[in-house]
């Protein structure tokens, strides 16, 4: 599914790599380590937000090192969820499907599935500004998986939540995992990835 060979990227005085990594389809991989160790930077390189200085990056057999983000079959859930504040919950969810040219029928069918699957039917017409942390995470996750990406990248997905919501959010990630999605989960908290990750890679400063 994912193969990284001799990937290197330098920003300021920090250099990530050379890094080699491979993942199987359906694997849930956790990247654990302190802030500043390069975990989120690696997600940005995989998603195409940043371009590596050296090395190759292959997704499902396709070399994507020079492929722009919107042409990579990858979705990223950011730490702050990055919902569009000028759009409703529904508009946020359908935005990536419209960008990829889904038909109205395809969008309606997918939305119907997502609102039941992620239990967000009751907030579908609301503005995103008034949502709780848990609701924002569900909407962001719905938007991320709407186009069935080959690879789902989670950047500190639970860190913005209150402690009492983290257990609920973790159960939500288990639900997503059971669909057989290929996932990379970045965290600095080992408790987040217990009972979730199939494999953990530790980053050091």
Q: Each residue of 15-72: pLDDT tens digit? A: 999 999 999 999 999 999 998 999 999 999 999 999 999 999 999 999 999 999 988 9
CA 186 from centre of chain: 9
Element (H, E) at 28: strand 28-32
The domains of the chain are located at 2-202
**Position 133 pLDDT exceeds 90:** no
What would the mean pLDDT of 101-125 be, rounded to a whole number? 94
Which of 172, 201, 163, 171 lies closest to 185, judged by CA? 201
User: Is 199's pLDDT higher than 90?
Assistant: yes
pLDDT category at 80 given cuts 50, 70, 90 is confident
Match domain 2-202 to its CATH number in 3.30.450.20, 3.40.50.300, 3.20.20.30, 2.60.40.10. Answer: 3.40.50.300
> Regarding predicted confidence, which is higher, 11 or 162?
11
Arithmetic mean of pLDDT, 115-119: 89
Three-state DSSP state, 3: strand
Name beta bridge partners: 7: 19
For residue 167, pLDDT beyond 90: no
> What percent of the chain shows pLDDT beyond 90?
72
Residue 160, pLDDT above cutoff 80: no
pLDDT, the chain, mean: 92
C-beta neighbour count of 199 within 10 angstroms: 11
Residue 88, SS3 per DSSP: strand
What percent of the chain has pLDDT above 70?
100
């Amino acid at each position: 599914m994912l193969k990284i060979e001799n990937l290197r990227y330098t920003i300021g005085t920090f250099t990530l790599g050379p890094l080699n990594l491979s993942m199987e389809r359906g694997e849930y991989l956790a990247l654990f380590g302190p802030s500043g160790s390069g975990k989120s930077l690696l997600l940005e390189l995989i998603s195409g937000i940043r371009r590596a200085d050296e090395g190759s990056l292959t997704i499902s057999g396709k070399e994507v090192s020079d492929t722009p983000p919107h042409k990579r079959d990858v979705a990223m859930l950011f730490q702050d969820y990055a919902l569009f504040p000028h759009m409703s919950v529904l508009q946020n969810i359908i935005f990536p499907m419209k960008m990829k040219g889904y038909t109205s029928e395809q969008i309606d069918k997918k939305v119907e599935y997502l609102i039941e699957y992620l239990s967000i039917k009751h907030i579908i017409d609301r503005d995103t500004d008034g949502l709780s942390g848990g609701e924002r995470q569900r909407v962001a996750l719905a938007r991320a998986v709407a186009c069935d990406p080959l690879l789902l990248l989670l950047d500190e997905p639970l860190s913005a939540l209150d402690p009492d919501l983290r257990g609920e959010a973790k159960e939500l990630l288990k639900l997503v995992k059971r669909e057989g999605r290929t996932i990379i989960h970045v965290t600095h908290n080992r408790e987040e990835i217990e009972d979730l990750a199939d494999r953990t890679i530790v980053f050091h400063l």
